[in-house]
Amino acid sequence: MSLPDGDSPIRWLFGATLVAGLLVADQDTTVLSATVATAPVVGAGIGSYLGTHYDLPDGSNSLLAGGSLLVVGCYGWIAGVDPLAGKLLVIAGSWFVLDGATTVRYESQTSPPAVFADLDDEDPSAAMDQINSIGAIYRGLRAVTQPKTIDQLANAHDMNPERMKAAVDYLESTGKLGRIGNGYVAVEPRWGQLTPFVSFASWLPRRLAKPITRAVA
Start-end of CATH 1.10.10.10 domains in the chain: 114-186
Q: Both ends of the chain: CA-CA distance in Å?
A: 53
**What span, in angstroms and rounded, lies between the C-alpha atoms of 54 and 61?**
12
Average pLDDT score over residue span 102-121? 75
- Report the pLDDT averaged over residues 47-54: 64
pTM of the model: 0.67
- From CA 15, how far away is CA 11, in angstroms rounded? 6
CATH class of 114-186: mainly alpha
Q: What pLDDT, on a 0 to 100 scale, did the predictor assign at position 122?
A: 59
Q: Is 168 exposed, middle or buried (0-12, 13-18, 19+ CB in 10 A)?
A: buried
| CA of residue 61 relative to chain centroid, distance | 10
Separation of alpha carbons 6 and 4, rounded Å:
7
Give yes or no for a contact between 207 and 200, defined as CB atoms under 8 angstroms apart.
no
- Say whether pLDDT at 119 is over 80: no
CA distances from 14 to 10, 18, 19, 31, 66 (A): 6, 6, 9, 16, 22
pLDDT at 123 over 50: yes
